[in-house]
Structure 1
Amino acid sequence: MSAVVVINADYTPHDVVSVKHAMKMLYRQVAVVEEEDAGQTFGPYPLPRVVRLIKFVYMKWRGAHRAGVPRYSRNNILKRDKYTCAYCGRYGDTIDHINPVSKGGETSWMNCVTACYDCNSLKRDRTPSQAGMSLKFEPRIPSFADLI
């Protein structure tokens, strides 16, 4: 199912949610459709792409998310990398820490990439250079649009 971008009442990015969640927000009248996907429907309703919250929601607890940075999650890493292994370019559905946690690496946007099972198993708890592997692309902090 597609993702829907949620913007705050002041038009700043707020979140990315499922279509089902966005439809619940519309039903409860806490959001309005700003942009819809032409030709796509959710039941009898047009499929929303962007919804705007009616009232401003203060997000102090979200830290970097307030600055327009999507929150880190396994699913968001997979979406950012388009389910493509950073080592071989094939389909990937596991997450690899470039600098392993056992060697002081963090769980962050810039230290995690999508990997296929074979490459992740081959690399184990080593850096890519120690494992004789190289990255096909560098990790980056995505925008909300990258995760749709």
Structure 2
Amino acid sequence: MRQVLLLNATYEPLTTLPLRRAVCLVLREKAEIVHHDISGARLHSATVVVEMPSVIRLLRYVRIPYRQRVPLTRAALMRRDNYRCAYCGRRAETIDHVIPRSRGGKHLWENCVASCTPCNHRKADKLLEELGWQLPVAPAVPRGAHWRLIGLVHDGDPQWAPYVSEPAA
């Protein structure tokens, strides 16, 4: 299904919406089109012709509750690790606990990494020191508002880039 990026009135990215919902917001004059779809496609009704949006902006500001910590989800973890295995660098399919849960490791950002299936099976419930492995980068909690938009930078429309670019650390 075609997705449209939704911006707050201040141009900060909020989320993505299905095309149908985005067009409804535009037609109800709750949002305006910021970028049209690059294909130039149009949506027709009996009385209205609307260019297909790629990015829309709300006309009224919506307050977003401040969240101290980004929730740990599979999608967020894979995005943080760029879909790459923390041990070998191949494409990751699973999540691994650096300190296994069977040995008291917690399910926290600082203890979880993306892993390919062979590395995850090889590591099993062992510690990295027992295998002689090292992590090139220590796992950390992602920071910033852009983490509400998990997957956008990876899978999103190229027209969204100016709005969802990750802030410099």
Scaled by the length of structure 2, the TM-score of the pair is 0.58
User: CA RMSD, aligned part only?
Assistant: 3.6
Structure 1 window deviating more from structure 2 (83-92 vs 35-44): it is 35-44
List gaps (5 residues or longer) in structure 2.
45-50, 154-169
Alignment of 1:1-148 (within 5 A): 5-15=5-15, 17=16, 21-29=17-25, 30-35=30-35, 38=38, 48=54, 50-60=55-65, 63-64=67-68, 71-102=71-102, 103-108=104-109, 110-140=110-140, 141=142, 144=146, 147=151, 148=153
The verdict on how the C-alpha distance between 1:35 and 1:142 changes in structure 2, with shifts beyond 3 A counting, is: farther
Whether the aligned pair in 2 keeps the contact of 1:26 and 1:32 (CA below 8 Å) is: no
Higher strand fraction: Structure 1 or Structure 2?
1
The verdict on how the C-alpha distance between 1:7 and 1:115 changes in structure 2, with shifts beyond 3 A counting, is: same
Q: Number of aligned residue pairs: give it.
A: 137
Deviation at 1:122, TM superposition (A): 1.6
CA distance in 1 between counterparts of 2:79 and 2:12 reads 22
Deviation track 1:89-136 (CA, whole Å, cap 9, x = no partner) reads: 11111111223334132333x332210001111222333223322223
CA distance in 2 between counterparts of 1:99 and 1:41 reads 51
Bigger Cα Rg:
2
Taking every aligned residue pair, what percent have the same amino acid on both sides? 30
Scaled by the length of structure 1, the TM-score of the pair is 0.65
Deviation at 1:3, TM superposition (A): 7.0
CA distance in 1 between counterparts of 2:24 and 2:119 reads 45
